[in-house]
Amino acid sequence: MYFTKYRLALSLWLVCTPLLAQDGLDGFLQTQAVVKLPISETYTHRYQLAQRFYVTDDIQGFQLQQIDLSHLSSLKIRDNLRLALGLMYRFRDSFDRFGTDEVRLIQHLVLSNRPENTRFVHRWRAEQRIFPDGTLHRLRYRFSVDLPLQGQNLNQGESYLVAHTESLLSIGNMQRPQWDQRFTLGLGWLIGKKTVLLNSLEYRVENFNADSRQRLFLFTSLNLSL
């Protein structure tokens, strides 16, 4: 049963790889590791390391584009409401000659509701993206749905489905206002008592109000709670 799930994830990956070579569609692979550290009953820290690769034009391999290091401090205001502040540094200058490093400040609010087995989550996020050339402000709203696949609650060894849709607005002196839209579908497993493996596929339409670009991301994330 467990290997069937891995076959599903593997199939997803193998199917997506040819899609990444389509004209007008840029392909990326992002792997990340997240460690969540509860400081108290209501306050947690989250540390994340992410690597992003882009698919080369000849689809022969992946090229490292950037490495992100981030921290998020989250406070539980109510049982279904969280406020978080975060900081991220993106190392890109060393890997991508067209890109620059970035410092990002993050603030977000998360509201969740779980009437039955399915959970609905709203996330409002504001980011200040600081580049050497200037600062970009980005506002984001994400609506998510997740549900366990084997029962009413997620138990160890079981899988879950998660889907997001997110709207982003980037504003700054550096560029004209830019609207982006993202759609994500993921399959995750609670592989250990506090360890989650998540594979997801994300389709992005960037700057759809002007000169739109399409991007396809394949995410693999290992999340560990201490």
Partner 1 sequence: MKYRLLLLIGCLCLGVTFGQEKREWERRIERSEFPDSALELIIPYLDGANKIKFYLERDQDKRSYEVKLKKRRLRYSIEFDQHGVLEDVEVRIREVDIPNESFEAIRSDLGQQFSAYRIRKIQQQYPNINANPQEILKKAFQNLLIPELNYEIIIAGKEAKRYQTYEFLYNAEGGFLNKRIVRPIDKDHVLY
The minimum distance between CB 150 and partner 1, in angstroms, equals 5
* Residue reference for tokens 């290997």: 3
* Residue reference for tokens 């392909």: 27
Q: Is 154 in the site for partner 1 (CB under 8 A)?
A: yes
Q: Which of 34, 106, 136, 216 binds partner 1 (CB under 8 A)?
A: 34
Give the x-and-dash track for 196-215 against partner 1 (CB under 8 A): xxx-----------------
The minimum distance between CB 75 and partner 1, in angstroms, equals 11
DSSP-based helix, strand, coil % in the chain, nearest 5: 10, 65, 25
**How many whole angstroms separate alpha carbon 47 and alpha carbon 110?**
18
First to last CA, the chain: 28
Half-sphere exposure of 197 (CA within 13 A, CB side): 10
Nearer to partner 1, 132 or 226 (CB): 226
Q: Is 220 in the site for partner 1 (CB under 8 A)?
A: yes
Half-sphere exposure of 146 (CA within 13 A, CB side): 19
Which stretches of the chain bind partner 1, using CB under 8 A?
Answer: 2-3, 6, 9-10, 29, 31, 34, 36, 40-42, 46, 53, 60-62, 76, 78-80, 82, 110, 112, 114, 116, 119, 121, 123, 144, 146, 150-158, 160, 162, 188, 190-193, 196-198, 220, 223, 225
